[in-house]
Amino acid sequence: MREEFYDDKTEPIIELKQFYGEQKHLVDKCLIIFSKVIHDHILEKFDCVEIGSLGACNGRIPIYCLEYKGEKIAFYLTGIGSAFASGACYEAHWVIGATKFIMFGSCGSLDPEQTTGRFIIPTESYRGDGASYYYAPASDYIDIKGREKLESIFTELKVPYVKGRVWTTDSMLRETKGLVAKRKKEGCIAVEMELAGVQALCDFYGLELYNFLEAGDVLADSGYEVEALPAANHDLGKFYIALDIAVRI
């Protein structure tokens, strides 16, 4: 039962200091990158310094820092999925001390009439993942706390956006017609794979999360439309919006 996943009454057995030593405090703001194309663009166009790394038996993830408009801003290339992205977020917090995270990626549109030509600011996320239930009591949706601040920044920057519920799933291959219909009926306008878990973790540890999405593929009654996904995945515009968000939070 998912209600049994959440335990805030007893102490964890494993702590990050067992892997990384004492927590460091190097920079306060950090971008969570999903696109290797965007990641490589940053390394090519900016003077980046490696300030830490996340490690596991399958390799290491460097954390870099750049300077933009007088602000030091960290970034790293995360993995796909709620469990991976949420765990990496907290490890990054421990390794470099960041408390404010800007996460941006692509998503599948459930309502292209609303999402086409606009970025998406999620208001709530349906918890179709597993990780979020370890960091927050069981519920259908989790509130996305940074949405109002993010909306004010998008308005200031004159960036087109739409607000709405989204759906976090652990398996895009199980986004069935029935489940899509249920989520659409509840007001979800997009589906993605990380937000519920990362938001729950940030709430649990007192971190700030600012998330926005760009719709690429479309889950429609007529079938799956994938043509726009690569452009949404690797849109460099998202990165520069994220930088301007970072200097305003």
Determine, yes or no, domain membership for 9: no
Query: Token pair of 78, please?
Result: 């995360």
- Would residue 2 count as lying in a domain? no
The position carrying tokens 């991976």 is 84
pLDDT at residue number 56: 85
Cross-strand partners of 109: 190, 218
pLDDT at 180 over 80: yes
Mean pLDDT of 208-220: 92
Task: Indicate the pTM of the whole model.
Answer: 0.96
Specify if 14 maps to a domain.
no
Q: Give the CATH number, domain containing residue 121.
A: 3.40.50.1580
Is residue 214 assigned to a domain?
yes
Q: Which two tokens stand for residue 214?
A: 């760009």
| 3-class state of residue 228 by DSSP | coil
* pLDDT, mean of residues 72-81: 98
Residue 221 pLDDT exceeds 80? no
Q: Is residue 73 part of a domain?
A: yes
Range of the domain at 69: 22-246
Q: What is the pLDDT of residue 64?
A: 98
Query: How far is 166 from 187, CA to CA, in rounded Å?
Result: 8
Based on the structure, what is the number of domains in the chain? 1
Structure token digits, residue 75: 């970034």
Segment 46-66, tens digit of pLDDT: 999 999 999 988 889 999 999
Residue 136 domain-assigned (yes or no): yes
Q: What is the pLDDT of residues 129-176, one digit of tens each?
A: 999 999 999 999 999 999 999 999 999 999 999 999 999 999 999 999
Main-chain phi, psi angles of 14, to 5 degrees: -105, 135
Cα 201 to the chain's mean position, in Å? 11
Scanning the structure block, which residue is given the tokens 């790293």? 76
Q: Determine the 3-state secondary structure of 70 from DSSP.
A: coil
In a domain, 3, yes or no: no
Instruction: With respect to residue 186, please indicate whether it lies within any of the assigned structural domains.
Output: yes
Burial group, residue 78, by CB count within 10 angstroms (0-12, 13-18, 19+): buried
- What pLDDT digit, counting tens, does each position of 8-49 carry? 999 999 999 999 999 999 999 999 999 999 999 999 999 999
